[in-house]
Amino acid sequence: MIKRTSPIIVGNWKSTPRTKEEGIKFIKQLEKKIATSKNKIPKKAYFIAAPDIFIPHLIPHAKRGYIGAENVSGLELGQHTGMEIPSQLQSGGADFTIIGHSEVRKLGETVEARAQKVANALHIKLTTILCFGEHKRDKEGKYLEELENDVKNTLSLVKRELFSNLIVAYEPVWAIGGAVPATASECFEAVIAIRRALASLGGIDYAKKVQILYGGTVSKDNAKAFLEEGGVDGLLIGRSSQEVSTFVDILNAVYTQK
């Protein structure tokens, strides 16, 4: 069971590292650097979304963090070759899963498929980090309306009572994997749109239970600003989570005492 630390710092390893030994080495080094940090980093400080097959190998070493999956199938138990369903991830030890990352959407994941994935994962209380974000921004602000509709459609099968296991990541696609992150104020307006959509689905009290992350070219230099001015409860980090040093730099930046 995940006890929410705030802020939630999530790394997304994607198709890295090459071997489970490298993954274990990473987690061991990360744990050591957190333990010896001069900053007061909480007991459970990180989430790492890793390749499924590595998850059970990483868990015994991840004392100060959570290990989860990068995607899950929305299909039911049965005849679906190569598809891992939420109960299988959970039983294999995954603490959480990401759903709807733009790199998965790009491969053809439909809104219906995503809606089924999130409904099935939350049904068994598997903590879910659900990603949303516009491809580009238009001057009229239509992307905000599209963002809200996407949130509403994707969560259409989910009972609001299950919102407490839901984390939403705002990840503008134009800011992922590039050089230019969103600004904290761009992030803030998207967070308002997401909260509005959540409130229209489940009412304000349930909407408040959902923590929201920002993702897209996060680094040690901008991490704190998103948390302090971007209206988010955490960060979803791609490239900078794939090297121990850059990931620890972000944790230290977030937890630097003034």
> How distant, in Å, are the alpha carbons of 76, 99, 243 from that of 249?
41, 26, 10
User: Helix, strand, or coil here: 37?
Assistant: coil
Catalytic site residue from 31, 84, 101, 148: 101
Nearest to 92 by CA among 62, 125, 58: 58
**Judged by CB, which is closer to ligand PEP: 6, or 15?**
15
Binding segment for ligand PEP among 17-25, 54-62, 112-120, 230-238 (CB under 6 A)? Answer: 230-238
Could you confirm whether 171 is annotated as catalytic? yes
Using CB under 6 A as the binding rule, whether residue 135 contacts ligand PEP is answered as no
Q: How far is the CB of 237 from ligand PEP (least distance, A)?
A: 5
**Judged by CB, which is closer to ligand PEP: 61, or 239?**
239
> How distant, in Å, are the alpha carbons of 32, 184, 201, 206, 213 from that of 170?
30, 12, 18, 18, 6
Residue 143 CB burial class (10 angstroms; 0-12, 13-18, ≥19): middle
| Contact code string over 16-55 relative to ligand PEP, x by CB under 6 A | ----------------------------------------
Nearest to 156 by CA among 204, 116, 196, 190: 116
Q: Which residues contact 88 (CB under 8 A, 6 or more apart)?
A: none
Tally of CB atoms within 10 A around 169: 27
Using CB under 6 A as the binding rule, whether residue 250 contacts ligand PEP is answered as no
Q: Contact with ligand PEP (CB under 6 A): which of 59, 167, 176, 210?
A: 176
- In DSSP terms, which residues pair with 8 in a beta bridge? 234
Q: Contact with ligand PEP (CB under 6 A): which of 236, 250, 251, 253?
A: 236
Q: How far is the CB of 49 from ligand PEP (least distance, A)?
A: 9
Using CB under 6 A as the binding rule, whether residue 217 contacts ligand PEP is answered as yes
Could you confirm whether 135 is annotated as catalytic? no
CB 47 within 8 A of CB 68: yes
Q: Contact with ligand PEP (CB under 6 A): which of 109, 134, 148, 171?
A: 171
| Catalytic residue list | 101, 171
Contacting positions for ligand PEP (CB under 6 A): 12, 171, 176-177, 215-218, 236-240
